[in-house]
Amino acid sequence: MLDSKGFDLWADGYDKSVGLSDEENVYPFAGYREILNRIYNTVLVRKNAVVCDIGFGTGVLTSRLADAGCEVWGQDFSAEMLKIASRKMPSAHLFRGDFSKGLAAELCQNTYDFIIATYSLHHLTDPEKVELIKTMKALLKPDGAILIGDVMFETRAELTRCREEAGDEWDDEEIYIVTEELGSAIPNLEFTQISHCAGVLTIHK
């Protein structure tokens, strides 16, 4: 698992390395573009949506949302990725911080139509994920939703199969969502599988 300095070093080549994995349809980023497009189109159904991105990285998705008229807020722990994202969307409200230790105070003073997290929550343990999701749900507007796009699986058996196929490429330090297990703590999950190793999880207010 990379720490914030690791992500700082990776920042310049991040988008390219993700794209190569997606194009080759291999773990971990198979389905990446489709996941981002699906979340993008879901958000844009609501005109001028207020969006909070948890772990926005280089702003690949949120910069497009900002260009489309959304009000963008967000948090990431990499100073270099924050710089890159800020250049792409200078009007966004972006804060640096480790979301495993909670959300920035500024984010918690607002409410959102959508809270999104793409390829970021796998750095949290399952209890940390549950705690963060509960915090995020409290910040949603009455008809809001959380949209999580990441490496995730419906069942533990599907995760095991992917791990065996990935072999040495599998990252044992990352903790992927298994929706049937998360559902016991967070009810009413909607999971849409996009590739053999990833999908979109929707959680309504």
Mean pLDDT along residues 193-205: 95
Cis amide linkage into residue 28, ω under 30° from 0: yes
Alpha carbon of 70 to those of 17, 93, 154: distances in Å? 27, 12, 31
Q: Which residue has the higher pLDDT, 4 or 37?
A: 37
Place of tokens 């549950």: 130
pLDDT score recorded for residue 86: 96
Distance CA 51, CA 75 (A): 12
pLDDT (tens digit per residue) in 158-168: 999 999 999 99
Q: What share of the chain is helix, strand, coil (3-state, %, to 5)?
A: 45, 25, 30
Answer for the pair 139, 111: CB distance below 8 angstroms, yes or no.
yes
Which segments of 59-125 does DSSP mark as H helices, in order? 60-67, 79-88
Residue 21 pLDDT > 60: no
197: tokens are: 């190793």
pTM: 0.89
pLDDT (tens digit per residue) in 104-131: 999 999 999 999 999 999 999 999 999 9
Which domains can be identified in the chain, with CATH numbers? 4-8+27-204 (3.40.50.150)
Q: Which residue has the higher pLDDT, 175 or 184?
A: 175
Amino acid at 104: A
Annotate 157-196 with three-state secondary structure.
HHHHHHHHHHHHHCCCCCCCEEHHHHCCCCCCEEEEEEEC
DSSP summary character for residue 110: S
Burial track 142-176 (b if 16+ CB lie within 10 A, e otherwise): eebbbbbbbbbbbeeebbeebbeeeeeeeeeebbb
Residue 28 has φ and ψ, to the nearest 5°, of -100, -5
